Every structure is written in structure tokens, then in C-alpha cells.
Structure 1
């Protein structure tokens, strides 16, 4: 077995989908299947139960996963330790975050990180922050910047960086939504909120916090649209299509902030905690640990 086969096995054990693992590892689905079969031949047991509809780890597969994860971490660590002994830290780090986090949170870390470790190349991938935890857990990225979920796998390590209150946004242009708000006298009681069209995130921590807020007010909102990413919520509200909730740091950096306005509400919206997350085992990698420590010092 080789490192690529172990990495492919680890990813498949998380995705449970040959196609998605193939895309992540730059292999065809059939090549992923052959890689797994070679591993099974070498260890002499079945690692996955698979049929036309599903893929699932066997008991032996779950035990082998612990070995594979540790083997990959050990390999990466020894390579980096050898580099440490010969020269400054160098290599690649994969990082995932939202577009907003890339310049509102990450920029503070990079200012320190680049000064300390100029030879480390950062591979930055941006997208919906709701995807960050899954991408880290599947081993697709080394680190991620994301909101802290209510429950976190014991395999993951999380470090708080900052907090951002959630804000209720309404359009700042003449539109039917503002006519409803004006008719209510700008006082958005739970009863009025229940009649307004909401733009909600499809999923993620913000969606969970917003739904808790709805339950606290005992209302069932009128959902106009569900979108991917907080930036899309600001855009949709700015068009006058509804009202929405986003973290304050998203609004502060949005080029559309003049086209929306914040309305205070009672009970107040909750606070969102934002931090960096990593697979616990990867903290033994000197590159990952270097970024982790820079993040801590940047926000301490």
C-alpha cells in the first residue's frame, strides 16, 4: 500500500461515495474502487460493504481507518520534521473559508503567518462556510475557518477567534416589504415578523441559530427563499425580495451594505462564534501547528 491509497481510503470512509472521492483525489470512480480492492487484498479482509445503492465501512474497515489516519499523519509529520532540521518550514496548506472570512478574519492571521513562514504556500478555497466542517472531517482541507456548530466531532479541534452578532436586515429601497414594515410602525413584533418574507441560509450554524430564535418567539416564518452563503442573503434583501439575518461581519464588508438597513428586534438575535477547525491528528503536522499558533496569537 502507498500514501495515495491510504488517503483515498480515508476520504472514501468519510464521503461513502466513489464519485465524490474520485473528484477529490483526481481519480475516476473505477480507479477508487480498484485502489480499495488492492488494500483489501493486502490486509486480507473486506474494508467496505458495497452494493449498487450504498457504501459502508465494515468493523475491520473502521479499525483500519484509525491506522490509515495515523499513518498519513506520521508520514506528513516526519517529512516536515526533516525539513525543519534542514531549513525553514515549507510546503502546502489547504484552507477553506467563506469569501467574507477570507478578508474579515483570515487577513489578520496571514499578516503574522507570512512574516513567520514565507516558504509555506497557502492553498485557499472559498465557498459556503456551512461546508467547512464536512470538508475538514473528510480530509479535503487541512484547516477551515467557520462558525462553531452546537456539536463537534471529537475528531476535530476548534479554536475560537472572534464573535459576531447576528443582525436582521431589511431592504433600503422602495418595495412591498418596506411598505409592510412602515405600516407596522417600524416595530417588528413577532406577529409582524411572521408575515414578512424571509431569506434564509439553506443550512449551517446560522440556520440553526435563526430557527432557535424563531422558536423563542413562537412563530413560523414565511420563507421566500433559501440561499447558499450569507453574501447571497445580503444581495437578495438588497433587491427588495425579503428580509434576512446575517452575521454583522458579513454586512460590514459587503459592497451592498448601503442598500440594506438593520432593524433592532426583541428578543435579540444570538451571537455567532467564529474560529478555526482542524482534524485533531493533523495538529502533529508542523505546518498545520504553525498556522494554528498564528491564529491564536493573532486573536489573543
Structure 2
């Protein structure tokens, strides 16, 4: 059977209205074209669906069952087309963002909240990880874009987003807490607690120590910043973290002070695949992010819009 959606919609309109004239007016078609569509449907099904006389249209038993099925198909088509329209307008679908844990936990929530107030039918997928895995998610196509550190490449386009200043992280009773600022050389003289080598934080702290020609061999190293925070709180040493990371250090008593000589910022960019169009929902998310930046929405202390 090759019944068309047009035929099913025509029959459903006639059956509901119990009138060819009323159904034709409702569908804005001629009565003759409507009659042909219903007749074609009856011929294809090999069953009489309507009993007609000069005034009335009544459904046969086959007509009642055909109406039930026709309405299911027509309603499903209408619903599917509305869903497709929402997707094409960026009003539905999924936005997949790859990002660093500190961005996922501290920066993104307010953006997602603002975005979902406007587009509640869009689902967010957050893929948090370290720098290389985050960039790999974008290159593989698993993520629409990333918010991360790293340098532009031929495969990825970077758009500056925020700058995240490094601060000294100190035990509560450490002598350096009495200073308004701390230098990298000051930290190099203390037992230094480092994050793992595959972290962007480690790469930037190593570069800062090299810039002042200071040797800061880690007294301990941990893969998780919360673990480093716990070690600092226990008085086992000092550390350096971007300001955006501070909420992830845990609940232990630590003190932080601005780091100087030099001032070091971690630059966080939006990273996208070069010459690859974004799904419209992802474009709408980035527009929301740009609106928040244009409004200079509040950021945590030590974090500034780029």
C-alpha cells in the first residue's frame, strides 16, 4: 500500500468533520481534490471507508479503524516536523562541551543557567578532563567545542574567553600569609606541592619557575587539585593555582595570595574545529556566552574576561 500523508490527512479531516465541504474549507483545498484523495485511499486500501449520501458522511467499520491509524500517522508527522523545526532553529538538540574541571564547576553553571532559561529543550553534555583529552574531544567530533588552555593549531581555531590569574596557595599558619603578595621565588624556597605533569596548571607553574630561574622540585605530586589542596591544608607545603581552581581545593583551611614577579595568567579559550560549522544549538550557546561577556557579568576574584 502506497497511501500518502496527504491522502491520510484528507481522509482524517473529512471523517472528523463528517463533511467534504467543511473539510475542504478547513484544509483550504477544493472539494473535488479532497474527494479524489479519499477515493484514491479507499482504492489503495481495497475497502470502503465512508458511506455518502447527498447530506451525510458516515464512517464504516473500516473507516473508524483507518481514522485511528491516520490520526496517529498525521499527528506523529506534525510532531516530528515541529521537533525538526526546533532543532533547525537551535531550540532543541544537545550541546556537547569539552572543558577543564574548574571551568565545568565554576564558570559554566551560570552560562548554562542563562542558556536553558531561553532554550529549556536543549540538553547539555559536559565532558570535563585535562587539556589534551579536552582538545582531543573536539578533534574527534565528540564535542562541539571546548573551553580550555592550549595553543591554536591548523585543526583548531581559538577565541580568547577569560584570563585566570595564578595565586599562591598556603597553609593557614604559614609565614607567607602575612604578606599582601607572594613572588614565585618565595614559593621556590618552600616545599612545593605540584599537580601532575599532564595538567595545564603544571605546565604553567613550571614555566613560571623557569622564568625566574628558580628550581622548584616538587616535594609531592598529585593528579587531582583537591588532593593538592588537602596536602597544603595539612601543612605539608605550598602550591600555586589559577583562581578558577580555588573552589575545587576542598574544605581544608588554606590561604591564597596574589602571585607576582611575574604575574601569570592562565588563558582560557573557546576552541573550535577549523572550517567546521557548528550545530545551531551550539551556536546559540556561544551567543549566550558572548552576551554574558558583553554585559561584563561577574566572575570569581582573580578571573577576568579576555
Range into which the TM-score falls when normalised by the shorter chain = 0.5 to 0.7
The corresponding residue for 1:196 is 190
**Runs (5+) with no aligned partner, structure 1:** 1-78
d(CA) in 1 for partners of 2:84, 2:184: 61
The corresponding residue for 1:291 is 285
d(CA) in 2 for partners of 1:85, 1:215: 50
Distance 1:200 1:113, change over 3 A: same
d(CA) in 2 for partners of 1:108, 1:197: 36
Q: Secondary structure at the match of 1:284?
A: coil
CA displacement at 1:269 relative to structure 2: 3.4
Distance 1:292 1:87, change over 3 A: closer
CA displacement at 1:265 relative to structure 2: 4.6
Distance 1:129 1:238, change over 3 A: farther
The corresponding residue for 1:228 is 223
Q: Secondary structure at the match of 1:141?
A: coil
The corresponding residue for 1:153 is 153
Corresponding position: 1:278 with 2:266: no
1:228-283, Cα deviation, whole Å (9 max, x unpaired): 34444323322222211111122256543x61112455413301122332223443
d(CA) in 2 for partners of 1:187, 1:100: 23
CA displacement at 1:141 relative to structure 2: 2.0
The corresponding residue for 1:239 is 234
The corresponding residue for 1:32 is none
d(CA) in 2 for partners of 1:145, 1:85: 23
Corresponding position: 1:163 with 2:163: yes
1:104 aligned to which of 103, 106, 119:
106
1:77-122, Cα deviation, whole Å (9 max, x unpaired): xx9x953587763212222233432242112211221122221111
1:218 aligned to which of 210, 213, 217:
213
TM-score w.r.t. structure 1 length? 0.59
Given that 2:184 and 2:262 are in contact with CA atoms closer than 8 Å, whether structure 1 keeps it comes out as no
TM-score w.r.t. structure 2 length? 0.58
**How do 1:83-94 residues align onto structure 2 when only pairs under 5 Å count?**
83-84=85-86, 89-94=91-96
The corresponding residue for 1:37 is none
**Runs (5+) with no aligned partner, structure 2:** 1-80, 295-306
Given that 2:164 and 2:268 are in contact with CA atoms closer than 8 Å, whether structure 1 keeps it comes out as yes
CA displacement at 1:221 relative to structure 2: 0.7
The higher radius of gyration belongs to 2
Given that 1:100 and 1:253 are in contact with CA atoms closer than 8 Å, whether structure 2 keeps it comes out as yes
d(CA) in 1 for partners of 2:187, 2:181: 10
CA displacement at 1:139 relative to structure 2: 2.4
Q: Secondary structure at the match of 2:115?
A: helix
Distance 1:226 1:287, change over 3 A: same
Q: Secondary structure at the match of 2:98?
A: strand
Given that 2:187 and 2:239 are in contact with CA atoms closer than 8 Å, whether structure 1 keeps it comes out as no
- State the Cα RMSD in Å: 3.5
1:268 aligned to which of 262, 287, 303:
262
Distance 1:240 1:274, change over 3 A: same
1:160-183, Cα deviation, whole Å (9 max, x unpaired): 33222100111115xxxx47x69x
d(CA) in 2 for partners of 1:229, 1:281: 35
